[in-house]
Structure 1
Amino acid sequence: MLGPLASLKILDFSTLLPGPFASLLLADMGAQVLRIESPSRMDLLRVLPPHDHGVSASHAYLNRNKRSLALDLKQPEALEVIKRLLQDHDIVLEQFRPGVMERLGLGYEALKAINPRLIYVSITGYGQTGPYKDRAGHDINYLALAGLSSYTGRADSGPLPLGMQVADVAGGSLHGVIGLLAAVIARQQTGQGQHLDVSMTDCAFSLNAMAGAGYLACGVEPGPENQVLNGGSFYDYYRSRDGRWLSVGSLEPAFMKQLCTALGLEELAGLGLSPLPAQQKQLKEALKVEFERHDFAELCALFAELDACVEPVLKLGEALRHPQLKARELVTQVPRGDGSMQVQMACPLKFSEGLPEPKHIGAALGQHTDQVLGELGFSLERVEALRRNKVIL
């Protein structure tokens, strides 16, 4: 089984999370991804703990199914290798700051001249234009500038660090994959490639979906705990007597009725749709009191039998054991390369024709250098000369 993207061959110059998560999705769907890595400037993800068998678990997951070519792009001879690769690798994914690839002679215009069908995807924090294009940033900064952090959190304590990289993944990775595949479809129609400028801040800004629409059309400024879905209503998390939490999303009247009946609060069921802050506060306080009268296990058992949009806040290990996630086969076994297997999260996309089995965990730095150069027609003598000159690892 080759997968739906088996015809795509991608040169991946990215590191850390946004680009690698994007190319992971592509590789899981069958694309042939070749990572171009620096022999001297290590991808920090390779050393990120925790480690399994001496390998970063994050790196092993995010870079599975990809080959690794260790190539010093600052060396003139490296351009020869890239030019040869561009004969059949017609997609480039890069994550450098604007201008870096141009200084290396690997910018879009230079590579387009070699292969006009080239699709060139640049993922950056702030995009290729604008006053912040050369500014450093991380996920928390992109969410802050995009306005998302201003209404995510508690009114008395401020924004919350979310623990997951929303701008990196939902912004850079997923939007990057969507744009890349759209460019592939356009190329099928026109024969021409193009340059895709993906800004994680831009894409995070688009995630303001409902709040942004309300502000732009109606001037309603969102703030912490002042909207239905951000803690300004009963829609929230509630603590059990033994200190665990449950999520309550019983927005529709039928769900609210089940929730209130289960907790002996039938008389308050009509407050669920009330736009009045005082009534929302009354309902919320009543729910808080009732949840804190019961232990977590008791509440889980109670709501497991109801369709009330109430679910427990599970620890990651508990989530992995949950029957729904197990039924969806969200965990897979991936070969380490030594005959053993590593347990990893599986590709979440379900195709009726299936997907190829994972080939291997993230490769060692330069693990496929000799193999790739051999496929390009480089002689053993030429490969050794490149190694002596420290062009390759």
Structure 2
Amino acid sequence: MGALTGLKILDFSTLLPGPFATLILGDLGADIIKISSPDKADIVADYPPYIEGTNLSANQAWLGRNKKNIFLNLKTKEAVDIVKELVKEYDIVVEQFRPGVMERLGLSYEELKKVNPKVIYCSLTGYGQTGPMRDSAGHDINYLARSGNMNYSGREKTGPVLTNMQMADIGAGSLYSVIGILSAVYHRTITGKGQYIDISMADGLIPFNAMEGAAFLVNGAEPEREKTRLNGGSAYDFYETKDHRYLSVGSLEPKFWKNFCECIELPELISETVMPENVNSLKEKIRKRILEKNLKEWNEIFKGQDVCVEPVLTLKEAFLEDEHIKARNLINDVKVAGEKEKTVKQMGTPLKLSECPIEYKETGYPLGYHTEEILKKMGYSIEEIEKFEEKKAVGIYKK
């Protein structure tokens, strides 16, 4: 039994934020049905590469793990009626359309609450359901920009830098959605009442300003690039090695700083501290020293030392070779959906529960795969399903 066994969720989301949120919930045991459009591509689910010998993309295999899925054309009355029937049992809804879209389709929180008063309804959008930007389109880079974070991130000479990490999508969108949904489930358990959840990825990035944001609200001083403890204004930084690899140096506290300086054989830097007035001179000395040896040599020097220094790993090194990541079971062999013996390696969900460990049953199926199965289980006949298909209310995956 999973930690969330018994929760039943309808997932209308696309791309990354919503699907990753429901991936976590599904890995924890929730019963997920993902609803997709039969004639509108999902650029994340369809993003190559594909698993060899299948028509299943790596992303869909991962994000669709432990879920079933159905093709519904929500612009038809028949599909809307199917959703309203489903929500009688699947009483948690996750949607990622722009504000007003579900209302126009007849599937708003207010409409579904009429069908099931206990429904929990989570809307995940870029800028939220209220405010002057509620209808604006956006992506991760835009939310990072508008949240203030990027104004003091990057380098002084070049400005903001891209990281290829979906901080707004996952860190703000997915995780806050999971928190919101589980909070609402707990509230419903106590009170019997469902509720509406408004999650904004832009909102979620405001706390990412953390210490600098808290300081600004007290003293009004704007943080500048390469001037704070964590954005390049101290020795806390990345340093290139002789073989053009990189080390991360996080030796902030005095004991770590002392050990670091001794390991690189520059003990005279200890008294300068990790953030002296002339930090550029300090960092230049460190850069020159780190460039004298390759990454393997530095790894041996820092091995077992209490310094907060780690190599910048490639995906191969991190996913397939790193002993700690192996020990934490973060990469798993998962059975490929619909295949008898084929497996594929996937990133796991980083939660460790002693009484109900996560189970990775099988990868996601191609979108629309379970349409017929789900409709039959709901009580629709073959003839009714064929009529739905004729009216293009549903899409049947051709296996």
Tell me the TM-score range normalised by the shorter chain: over 0.9
Find the counterpart in structure 2 of residue 197 from structure 1: 198
Q: How does 1:3-42 map to 2 (within 5 A)?
A: 3-42=2-41
C-alpha contact (below 8 Å) 1:108/1:195 kept by paired residues: yes
Does residue 114 (structure 1) correspond to residue 107 (structure 2)? The answer is: no
- Within 5 Å, which residues of 2 pair with 1:164-313? 164-274=165-275, 276-278=276-278, 280-313=279-312
2:340 pairs with 1:334:
no
Structure 1 residue 37 displacement after superposition:
0.8
Contact 1:45 1:56 in 2 (8 A): no
Supply the distance in 2 between the matched residues of 1:271 and 1:172 (Cα, whole angstroms): 41
Instruction: Sort the Cα spacing of 1:228 and 1:356 in 2 relative to 1 into closer, same or farther, 3 A.
Output: closer
Q: Does structure 1 retain, via aligned residues, the 8 Å contact 2:3–2:356?
A: no
What is the Cα deviation at residue 277 of structure 1? 2.5
In the aligned structure 1, how far is the partner of 2:306 from the partner of 2:19?
Answer: 38
C-alpha contact 2:257 2:274 (8 A) present in aligned 1:
no
Distance 1:259 1:210 in 2: 25
2:347 aligned partner, one-letter code: M
The match for 1:374 is 376
> Alpha-carbon deviations, 1:299-333, whole Å to 9, x = none?
01111131111110111111121111111111111
Aligned length: 390
More displaced stretch, 356-365 vs 102-111: 356-365
Paired with 2:87 and 2:324, the residues of 1 have a C-alpha distance of 43
For 1:238, give the aligned amino acid.
Y
Shift of 1:65: 0.8
How far, CA to CA, are the matches of 1:388 and 1:131 in structure 2? 41
Amino acid at match of 2:142: N
Rounded Cα–Cα distance in structure 2 between residues aligned with 1:224 and 1:234 = 14
Deviation at 1:356, TM superposition (A): 4.5
Q: Distance in 2 between matches of 1:210 and 1:384?
A: 59
Equivalent AA in structure 1 for residue 112 of structure 2: L
Partner amino acid for 2:44?
Answer: L
Instruction: Please state whether the residue corresponding to 1:131 is helix, strand or coil.
Output: coil
Q: CA deviation at 1:220?
A: 2.3
Determine the C-alpha separation between the residues in 2 that align with 1:148 and 1:90. 36
When normalised by structure 2's length, the TM-score is 0.95
Q: Which residue pairs with 1:44 in the alignment?
A: 43
Quote the offset at 1:273 in angstroms: 4.8
Contact 1:272 1:283 in 2 (8 A): no
Report the alpha carbon displacement of residue 63 of structure 1 after superposing the two structures with TM: 1.3
- Partner Cα separation in structure 2 for residue 277 and residue 159 of structure 1: 24
CA distance in 1, matches of 2:209, 2:59: 29
Partner in structure 1 of residue 64 of structure 2 = 63
TM-score, normalising length: structure 1: 0.97
Deviations 1:215-234, CA, capped at 9 Å, x for gaps: 11121211211100011110
Shift of 1:59: 1.8
Distance 2:359 2:213 in 1: 41
Indicate whether 1:389 and 2:391 are aligned: yes
Q: Secondary structure at the match of 1:362?
A: coil
Residue identity opposite 2:204 in structure 1? C
Write the letter of the residue equivalent to 2:114.
Answer: A
Query: Structure 2 counterpart of 1:117, which letter?
Result: K
CA distance in 2, matches of 1:47, 1:174: 23
CA distance in 1, matches of 2:378, 2:246: 56
What is the aligned-residue identity percentage? 48
AA aligned opposite 1:368: H
**What CA distance in whole angstroms lies between the structure 1 residues aligned with 2:45 and 2:242?**
42
Question: Which residue is 1:324 aligned to?
Answer: 324
Answer yes or no: is the 8 Å Cα contact 1:233–1:277 preserved in 2. no
- Superposed CA RMSD: 1.2
Alpha-carbon shift at residue 50 of structure 1 (Å): 2.1
- Partner of 1:45: helix, strand, or coil? coil
Q: Which runs of 5+ in 2 are unaligned?
A: none
Secondary structure (helix, strand or coil) at the match of 2:44 reads helix
Q: In the TM superposition, what is the alpha-carbon distance from 1:208 to its structure 2 partner?
A: 1.0
Tell me the distance in 2 between the aligned counterparts of 1:165 and 1:25.
Answer: 16
Which stretches in structure 1 are left out of the alignment for 5+ residues?
none
Which range moves more in the overlay, 347-356 or 141-150?
Answer: 347-356
- Aligned equivalents of 1:294, 1:20: Cα separation in 2: 43
Q: Structure 2 CA distance, aligned partners of 1:370 and 1:241?
A: 59
Equivalent position of 1:352 in the other structure: 354
Question: Cα distance, 1:42 vs. partner?
Answer: 2.1
CA contact (8 A) 1:240 1:246 kept: yes
The AA in structure 1 aligned to 2:14 is T
* Contact preservation (8 Å) 1:28, 1:355: no
1:103 aligns with 2:104: yes
Further displaced range: 284-293 or 52-61: 52-61
| Residues 321-352 of structure 1 deviation map (CA, whole Å, 9 limit, x = unaligned) | 11111111111111212111111111111111
SS at match of 2:33: strand
Q: Secondary structure at the match of 1:159?
A: coil
